[in-house]
């Protein structure tokens, strides 16, 4: 209990620090020259529209350009009558007139000498509205880098830069694993590519994938901190807070799953069923969730101070995503899991087949080694049972994530299916660790 209180106290201090830095950072970028930002946003719209409109994609094959459009909309919206602190809390964007539709909306700013003329485009039946609406339910922390980048680049150039950054982060992560722990190179590479980081690229996905690489590198490099329960819990609390700041509600839960699986697979034990193993996994997920929820809730507190009327809309939106209904129709966990599993398999047929074949061959090899050779107790049996615990706990965590936000899991299955990359990483890691113990 004393240890938990110590972690809680330090986590609160860390949260206050991150909230202050995040809010001040977002407010600071709202002071940047608006005219330059909206000019480059204008140069971005044709590219963004063509990425969506010109490609006739199946829904489950679609990168989330809608969210990228929302990000660009918020980053480029300008209202000189409101201060930076208010804008950082409320995060306004151009809305649309029809309440029951979700147009593929974007603001196109055409700069023709002065003043700047605003033209609003939508690509469904609903029409855009000149009235601004709040998107303050999220921190929208991506504005810290997106608005400064829009001073110099359009979205096509920003996409190119983030592709290069993502490739660099992936390469660095693989290199660090090669130097520090080669056993996890293949599991990480395969699981990472099931996220389709380059084939289905968009900015909202890239932010999650970059954070995944960063936090996994921290886990690999700082083994000393990972061995100290208090430092480890605080790190996972901070991880949840940072993820809540930079990302929107999405498949970001893979970040703690990857890091937790790597951590527990690396721990030494001689016990076939280790309760501490399960406790460690649950503890890490708990502190990550605590950081995520605390950071998100802190934004609502700031939003309530800035404009209390907007908070009721935020609460309604959250209740909708937590509900088991989608516009009056019941959504079951079985249905959500089926849609996500099908979407994941559809996107990763070749990798999944190779992955299943590898897992089957590993299990057969272990069975033959343990039973036909009739070896007495073993280390291999310890790993076999331990691996089952890791896989089962990981799968349970993913299913729980789908269940908690059931509406969101079903409606947005086309990107939420990427959460299955977590069990893929767990199963491959366990299989390779078992194979390593054969020799």
Q: What are phi and psi of 131, to 5 degrees?
A: -80, 130
- Return d(Cα 439, Cα 434) in angstroms, integer: 9
At 375 the three-state DSSP class reads coil
Predicted local distance difference test score (pLDDT) of residue 51:
64
Below-70 pLDDT ranges, the chain: 1, 49-62, 80, 95-131, 223-227, 266-274, 311, 320-321, 326-328, 349-384, 434-439
User: Among 263, 322, 285, which residue's Cα sits nearest to residue 397?
Assistant: 285
DSSP codes of every residue in 168-205? HHHHHHHHHHHHH-GGGHHHHHHHHHTT-TTTT--HHH
DSSP β-bridge partners for residue 63 = none
User: Among 326, 334, 358, 343, which residue's Cα sits nearest to residue 424?
Assistant: 358
The first and second tokens of residue 427, run together, are 């199963």
Look at the alpha carbons of 87, 22, 216, 172 in this order and tell me if their dihedral is positive or negative.
positive
Q: What are phi and psi of 289, to 5 degrees?
A: -60, -40
User: Among 184, 175, 92, 173, which residue's Cα sits nearest to residue 140?
Assistant: 92
User: Among 186, 269, 175, 251, which residue's Cα sits nearest to residue 220?
Assistant: 175
SS percent in the chain: helix, strand, coil, step 5: 70, 5, 25
User: Among 74, 135, 130, 126, which residue's Cα sits nearest to residue 103?
Assistant: 126
- Return d(Cα 222, Cα 214) in angstroms, integer: 12
- Return d(Cα 300, Cα 138) in angstroms, integer: 8
The pLDDT tens digits for 377-429 are 444 455 567 778 888 889 999 999 998 888 888 888 888 889 999 998 998 88
DSSP β-ladder status, 117-121 and 106-110: antiparallel
User: Among 72, 30, 9, 87, which residue's Cα sits nearest to residue 306?
Assistant: 87
Q: What is the phi-psi region of residue 92: left when phi exceeds 0, alpha when psi lies from -120 to 50, beta otherwise?
A: beta
The first and second tokens of residue 378, run together, are 């073993």
DSSP β-bridge partners for residue 96 = 128
- The answer to whether the beta carbons of residues 191 and 424 sit under 8 Å apart is yes
The first and second tokens of residue 275, run together, are 């309760």
| Number of other residues whose CB lies within 10 A of the CB of residue 132 | 14
The first and second tokens of residue 288, run together, are 């990550």
- Return d(Cα 177, Cα 220) in angstroms, integer: 7
User: Among 278, 287, 430, 286, which residue's Cα sits nearest to residue 363?
Assistant: 430
What letter would DSSP give residue 154?
-
The pLDDT tens digits for 233-274 are 899 999 999 999 999 878 999 999 999 999 888 666 544 446
User: Among 288, 27, 51, which residue's Cα sits nearest to residue 159?
Assistant: 51
DSSP β-bridge partners for residue 92 = 134
What letter would DSSP give residue 110?
E
């Amino acid at each position: 209990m004393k240890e938990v209180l110590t972690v809680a106290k330090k986590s609160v201090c860390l949260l206050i620090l991150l909230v202050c830095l995040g809010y001040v950072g977002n407010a600071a970028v709202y002071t940047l020259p608006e005219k330059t930002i909206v000019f480059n946003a204008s140069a971005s719209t044709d590219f963004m529209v063509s990425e969506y409109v010109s490609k006739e994609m199946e829904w489950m094959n679609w990168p989330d350009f809608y969210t990228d459009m929302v990000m660009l909309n918020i980053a480029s919206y300008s209202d000189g009558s409101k201060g930076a602190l208010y804008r950082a809390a409320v995060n306004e964007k151009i809305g649309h007139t029809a309440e029951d539709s979700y147009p593929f909306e974007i603001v196109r700013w055409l700069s023709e000498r002065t003043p700047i003329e605003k033209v609003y485009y939508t690509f469904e039946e609903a029409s855009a509205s000149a009235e601004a609406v709040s998107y303050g339910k999220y921190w929208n922390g991506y504005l810290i880098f997106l608005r400064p980048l829009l001073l110099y680049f359009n979205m096509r150039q920003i996409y190119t830069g983030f592709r290069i950054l993502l490739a660099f982060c992936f390469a660095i992560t693989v290199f660090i694993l090669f130097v520090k722990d080669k056993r996890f190179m293949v599991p990480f590479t395969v699981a990472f590519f099931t996220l389709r980081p380059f084939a289905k690229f968009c900015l909202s996905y890239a932010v999650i994938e970059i954070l995944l690489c960063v936090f996994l590198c921290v886990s690999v490099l700082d083994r000393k901190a990972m061995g100290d329960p208090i430092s480890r819990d605080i790190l996972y609390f901070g991880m949840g807070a940072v993820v809540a700041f930079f990302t929107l509600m999405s498949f970001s839960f893979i970040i703690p799953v990857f890091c937790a699986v790597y951590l527990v697979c690396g721990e030494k034990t001689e016990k076939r069923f280790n309760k501490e193993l399960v406790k460690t996994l649950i503890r890490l997920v708990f502190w990550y969730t605590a950081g995520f929820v605390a950071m998100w809730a802190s934004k609502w507190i700031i939003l309530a101070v800035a404009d209390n009327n907007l908070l009721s809309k935020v609460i309604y939106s959250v209740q909708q995503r937590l509900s088991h209904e989608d516009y009056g129709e019941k959504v079951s966990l079985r249905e959500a899991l089926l849609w996500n599993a099908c979407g994941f398999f559809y996107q990763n047929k070749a990798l999944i087949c190779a992955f299943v074949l590898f897992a089957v061959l590993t299990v057969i090899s272990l069975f033959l080694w343990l039973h036909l050779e009739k070896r007495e107790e073993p280390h291999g049996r310890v790993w076999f049972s331990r691996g089952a615990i890791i896989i089962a706990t990981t799968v349970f965590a993913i299913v729980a994530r789908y269940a908690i936000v059931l509406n969101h899991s079903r409606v947005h299955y086309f990107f939420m299916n990427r959460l299955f990359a977590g069990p893929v990483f767990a199963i491959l890691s366990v299989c390779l660790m078992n194979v390593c113990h054969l020799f």
